[in-house]
Amino acid sequence: GESVGLHLPTLSVQEGDNSIINCAYSNSASDYFIWYKQESGKGPQFIIDIRSNMDKRQGQRVTVLLNKTVKHLSLQIAATQPGDSAVYFCAEKKTDKLIFGTGTRLQVFP
């Protein structure tokens, strides 16, 4: 079956360090992936996306890497800040809908 899963449910990092959140997917036909950030009590907020014809895309302090060979997606956050504390979801576009993973909780400690 198709699924989008995450390796770690919780990631704790020290403020200023880099964070890496991983995601595995099983549908090799997927052509579009998105990372969302969800703070407590709020809706998901778009962070960055990547199409399958790319293997890397950079934004402000964030980088998404796509490895189609092993069906792996990662989100790198540089110089992690307390405001980055949230749950991060990867999502895979399947026709008109998004298939979400279960999420990784990022905790930033001083």
Partner 1 sequence: NAGVMQNPRHLVRRRGQEARLRCSPMKGHSHVYWYRQLPEEGLKFMVYLQKENIIDESGMPKERFSAEFPKEGPSILRIQQVVRGDSAAYFCASSPRDGTYEQYFGPGTRLTVT
62 in contact with partner 1 (CB under 8 A): no
97 in contact with partner 1 (CB under 8 A): yes
Task: Give the range of 11-19, 58-66, 74-82, 95-103 binding partner 1 by CB under 8 A.
Answer: 95-103
Identity of the residue numbered 70:
V
- If the CB atoms of residues 44 and 84 are measured against partner 1, the closer one turns out to be 44
Q: Per DSSP, what are the bridge partners of residue 14?
A: 109
**Contact by Cβ (8 Å): 38, 103:** yes
Least distance in angstroms from the C-beta of 44 to partner 1: 5
Compute how many other C-beta atoms are within 10 angstroms of the C-beta atom of residue 58.
12
